[in-house]
């Protein structure tokens, strides 16, 4: 099994949040890879949407950017975060994430997803390609979200929440 490279410990709260988010992302991307090998039409899309609908809020939470966390900010800081979100151009930060919202956000990856759908019907090699594309697709979306979260936190000067109990 592929494990992400471990970075040396850091004192930066942002770096620590990125590492925690990447760990979550890797685990979910492996699930997407496995689901991509099952030759049931549309199953991988449904699994990806469900995984992302649960994963993206957890990543946002690492950076203090869930709707609940943002509602607890003072109005001035909340406005700074909203401006930073607009500047970054993310449609997923600070929103209640649903499967429909996730599917709209991944439309830009349509060709990669379609290739994955077709590849899994080719015996063995096709399933390996589908698994690799499934992993890469989910990983790409998650990495983009992590980068967006970091840019928003930095632009708004937002203090990160303490890590949750599972960390």
Q: What is the pLDDT of residues 122-133, one digit of tens each?
A: 555 666 777 777
- 4 found inside a domain: no
- 71 found inside a domain: yes
Looking at every residue in the chain, the average pLDDT score rounds to 78
- 164 found inside a domain: no
The Cα diameter of the chain in Å comes to 57
**Domain containing 59: what range?**
13-156
- 141 found inside a domain: yes
pLDDT computed for residue 122 by the predictor: 53
Task: Report the range of poorest mean pLDDT among 47-56, 110-119, 123-132, 158-167.
Answer: 110-119
pLDDT computed for residue 58 by the predictor: 94
The pLDDT tens digits for 67-106 are 999 999 999 999 999 999 888 887 778 777 776 777 666 6
> For the chain, what is the total number of helices (H) and then of strands (E)?
7, 0
pLDDT computed for residue 126 by the predictor: 63
Of 147, 152, 130, 146, the closest CA to residue 48 belongs to: 130
Number of structural domains (the chain) is: 1
């Amino acid at each position: 099994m592929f494990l992400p490279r471990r970075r040396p410990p850091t004192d930066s709260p942002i770096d620590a949040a990125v590492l925690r988010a990447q760990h979550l992302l890797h685990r979910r991307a492996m699930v997407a890879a496995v689901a991509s090998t099952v030759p049931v039409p549309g199953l991988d899309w449904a699994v990806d949407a469900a995984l992302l609908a649960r994963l993206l809020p957890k990543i946002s939470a690492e950076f203090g950017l869930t709707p609940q966390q943002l509602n607890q900010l003072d109005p001035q800081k909340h406005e700074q975060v909203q401006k930073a979100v607009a500047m970054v151009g993310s449609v997923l930060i600070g929103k209640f994430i649903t499967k429909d919202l996730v599917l709209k956000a991944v439309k830009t990856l349509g060709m990669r997803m379609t290739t994955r759908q077709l590849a899994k019907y080719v015996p063995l090699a096709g399933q390996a390609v589908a698994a690799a594309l499934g992993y890469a697709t989910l990983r790409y979306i998650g990495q983009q979200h992590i980068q967006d979260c970091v840019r928003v936190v930095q632009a708004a000067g937002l203090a990160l929440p303490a890590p949750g109990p599972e960390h």
